[in-house]
Chain A
Amino acid sequence: MTAETALTLADINLNDETLFESGLSHEAFRILRRENPISWTPAEERIKGHWNLVKYEDVLQVSRHPEIFSSERGIVQYEPINPEDATQAANGNGKMLITMDPPRHVKLRRLVNKGFTPRAVAAMEPHIRQITRKLLDGIAAKGECDFVLDVASQLPLAVICGMMGLEDKDWPLMFQLTNKVLGAGDPEYQTDVPEDQRGTDEAARATGNMGTMQMFGFFAQQLMNRKEHRREDLISLLVDSELDGDRLSDEDILWFCFLLILAGNETTRNGISGGLVSLFEHPAERARLQADMSLMPSAVEEILRWVSPVTHMARVALEDTEIRGQRIAQGERVVMWYPAVNRDEDVFPQAQRFDITRTPNDHLAFGIGEHFCLGAGFARLEMRVMFEELFTRFPDIELNGPVERLRSTFIGGIKHLPVRFSPER
């Protein structure tokens, strides 16, 4: 045991964002899997309690029964006791693909999913490679950079903004606003709040709400513009789509845009940056990969398992039910912890080993079933192309300072990742 494993069952509080920021969460999950696989986090002053799922089979059970475990009351762990404490984003509960239950869910998904199938994704590879090369051109002469700001965040941003038909000039704003919404709890993004008030729950709420409202303002403008001039993009497609014979409402379309820009940006970014950190931390695996780049597809899967860029999704039980013999009452919230199930010793042999050739590797980083990640194909492709190009061009890239993690229980994020490499001349 290392020095930092002084953590005991009694200390574990999965509402504590700093547990994730510090990286101690993996140790907490290891203890929970062994000692308390279904644990209850009690209510706090303003938020309800919830069940924590850390075993693979339990997350399968919940994901496979959307008729029992609903997404419509929100997919994050926090549910305010007092409805007045709800965030702006919570107004999207029941209105977004990700917060919608059957039977409407699959109908909405079918409006867009042809653009996300393996075939559609494969057709985008040359374009994604071109964007990646341009990004690497931008850092090549410098010999060092913040890999998150200059590279890892920029590829997913360009891809999703491109699909939505947003102009280059708006991309930095999208980066800023998605940080505010999904990084609301991190003082670095609480720039609308006076400095001495940052780091509080109030500051987090204000930041998330500000980001959400600004996003809506922005997309309302885009929508107006598409209604006048259709283009070849997802927003135009939604404008012309029908569900059960009706056009989508403006509100439906705006929530869809909100979901796509967040889901497309804040996840793959951390798959790329978290992947690079994992490879830095496992030099033998990295050397194996660099010696044989044909291992890239399985390396990407192992990175997804290891990093689990989305930390949790939650559901609410619609009826009294049972998981692993534990009674779950109607109305109670269950939280599926992806980094925990992806290292479940009962499913993955040598689960604590980072092995870029692991097969089989049926990790749940993208969830499974009804809400299986719509963008999984793009995320995998972006990660593969990025690492192929990066290691071809900068084979000696290495860490050049401290890795700064996001303070969040929802996104396993990296904010800053200083790297250095031999510059190109």
Chain B
Amino acid sequence: MKVVVNADKCEGHGKCEKAAPAVFKLGDDDVSRVLVDDVPESQRGQVDAAIRLCPRQAIAWERP
């Protein structure tokens, strides 16, 4: 499954990086990047947590 960060909304709060460090990384521009194309099964729970915690509601699973 693929996860995306909406760069228009993201304001660099970094909650995603804390919740799922293998999936998200904050760039120097204060926008979060997704590090993997396909989120491994084992990390989906962490990504769900990131989606829930993101204050800007900037993260979503990409609908196929």
- Using a CB–CB cutoff of 8 Å, the interface residues on chain A facing chain B are 64, 106, 110, 113-114, 116-120, 362, 366, 368-370, 372, 376
Q: Select which of A106, A119, A368, A369 is within 8 A of B30 by beta carbon.
A: A119
Contact present for B57 and A117 (CB under 8 Å): no
Contact present for B55 and A106 (CB under 8 Å): no
* Chain B 1-31 interface residues, beta-carbon cutoff 8 Å to A: 8-9, 11-14, 30
Residues of B within 8 A of A366 (CB): 55
Residues of A within 8 A of B56 (CB): 369-370, 372
25 A–B pairs (Cβ distance < 8 Å), ordered by A: A64-B57, A106-B8, A106-B9, A110-B8, A113-B11, A114-B30, A116-B11, A117-B11, A117-B12, A118-B12, A118-B14, A118-B30, A119-B12, A119-B30, A120-B30, A366-B55, A368-B57, A369-B55, A369-B56, A369-B57, A370-B57, A372-B55, A372-B56, A372-B57, A376-B55
Given contacts A106-B8, A106-B9, A110-B8, contact A117 B53 (CB under 8 A): no
Cα-based distance from A114 to B8 in the complex (angstroms) = 11
Residues of A within 8 A of B55 (CB): 366, 368-369, 372, 376
Cα-based distance from A369 to B12 in the complex (angstroms) = 13
Residues of B within 8 A of A370 (CB): 56-57
Contact present for B9 and A117 (CB under 8 Å): no
B32 to A: closest C-beta gap in Å? 11
B30 to A: closest C-beta gap in Å? 4
A35 to B: closest C-beta gap in Å? 28
Nearest B-chain residue to A360, judged by Cβ: B53
B45 to A: closest C-beta gap in Å? 15
Classify the interface of chain A: helix, strand, loop or mixed: helix
Cα-based distance from A366 to B14 in the complex (angstroms) = 16
Q: How many residues of B contact A (CB 8 A)?
A: 11
Cα-based distance from A372 to B55 in the complex (angstroms) = 6
Contact present for A362 and B57 (CB under 8 Å): no
Cα-based distance from A369 to B57 in the complex (angstroms) = 5
* Chain B 27-64 interface residues, beta-carbon cutoff 8 Å to A: 30, 53, 55-57
Contact present for A118 and B13 (CB under 8 Å): yes
Cα-based distance from A365 to B13 in the complex (angstroms) = 15
If A118-B12, A118-B14, A118-B30 are given as contacts, then 16 extra A-B residue pairs at C-beta distance below 8 Å, sorted by A number, are A64-B57, A106-B8, A113-B11, A114-B30, A117-B11, A117-B12, A117-B30, A118-B13, A120-B30, A362-B53, A368-B57, A369-B55, A370-B56, A372-B55, A372-B57, A376-B55
Residues of A within 8 A of B9 (CB): 106
Cα-based distance from A102 to B46 in the complex (angstroms) = 28
* Most A C-beta atoms less than 10 A away, residue of B12, B13, B14: B12
9 smallest CB-CB distances across A and B, nearest first, come from A117-B30, A369-B57, A372-B55, A117-B12, A118-B12, A119-B30, A106-B8, A372-B56, A117-B11
Cα-based distance from A119 to B30 in the complex (angstroms) = 7
Residues of B within 8 A of A110 (CB): 8
Nearest B-chain residue to A60, judged by Cβ: B52
Cα-based distance from A366 to B13 in the complex (angstroms) = 13
Cα-based distance from A370 to B11 in the complex (angstroms) = 11
Cα-based distance from A64 to B54 in the complex (angstroms) = 11
Residues of B within 8 A of A376 (CB): 55
A184 to B: closest C-beta gap in Å? 30
B51 to A: closest C-beta gap in Å? 10
B1 to A: closest C-beta gap in Å? 20
Residues of B within 8 A of A64 (CB): 57
Residues of B within 8 A of A106 (CB): 8-9
Cα-based distance from A196 to B30 in the complex (angstroms) = 54
Residues of B within 8 A of A368 (CB): 55, 57
Cα-based distance from A119 to B12 in the complex (angstroms) = 8
B27 to A: closest C-beta gap in Å? 11
Nearest A-chain residue to B7, judged by Cβ: A110
Cα-based distance from A370 to B12 in the complex (angstroms) = 14
* Most A C-beta atoms less than 10 A away, residue of B8, B14, B53, B57: B57
Residues of A within 8 A of B57 (CB): 64, 368-370, 372
A62 to B: closest C-beta gap in Å? 12
Residues of B within 8 A of A372 (CB): 55-57
Cα-based distance from A62 to B14 in the complex (angstroms) = 23
Residues of B within 8 A of A118 (CB): 12-14, 30
* Most A C-beta atoms less than 10 A away, residue of B13, B14, B56: B56
A304 to B: closest C-beta gap in Å? 13
* Most B C-beta atoms less than 10 A away, residue of A64, A114, A116, A372: A372
